[in-house]
Amino acid sequence: MATVLVVDDEPSMRRALRGFFERAGFDVVEAASAADALRHVGGNGPADAVVTDVMMPEVSGLDFYDQLMARSPALAHRVVFLTGAASDPRVHGPIEQRGVPLISKLDDLRLVVDAVRLMLLRRNTGTIAGAP
């Protein structure tokens, strides 16, 4: 069973995502901050995928991503950003430059589960079914 690290400063969002991922058959580890998430990755080994909020106090999701890549580059194609400000170019521009999926918190959160499944499928097969 794959493990998803959910990083969000909002407990209600972490609970909601946990529910979606557990119903889909994933193990979930929650982190309330970037620092907690980095401690998890450093101490317990990396998760199979990471879902992180963008707008967090102290360390933003973008800074967390950059620190995560420095520590665990194998997670480079296994991170999904989640934010309520997905339409703001100051938010989505830097995320697009990193080549990381961005999903709005206002969308159906099942899309986050689908994005993680797709990333893990790519990791396991090296391609997507039907892709050249």
Q: DSSP string spanning the chain?
A: --EEEEE-S-HHHHHHHHHHHHHTT-EEEEESSHHHHHHHHHHH---SEEEEESS-SSS-HHHHHHHHHHH-GGGTTSEEEEES-TT-HHHHHHHHHHT--EEETTS-THHHHHHHHHHHHHHHHSS-TT--
pLDDT at position 1, please? 84
Alpha-carbon distance of 116 to 78, in angstroms, equals: 7
Quick one: average pLDDT of 32-36? 95
Rounded mean pLDDT, 41-55: 85
Question: How confident is residue 53, by pLDDT bands cut at 50, 70 and 90?
Answer: very high
Q: Contact, 49 vs 119, CB < 8 A? A: yes
pLDDT in the model for residue 45: 66
Please tell me whether the overall predicted TM-score, pTM, comes out greater than 0.85 for this model. yes
Percentage of the residues of the chain whose pLDDT score is greater than 90: 58
Of 88 and 5, which is predicted with more confidence? 5
- pLDDT value at 122 more than 70: yes
pLDDT confidence of residue 3:
94
In this structure, whether the domain defined by 3-125 belongs to CATH 3.40.50.2300 is answered with yes
Give pLDDT, residue 37: 94
pLDDT over 50 (residue 128): no
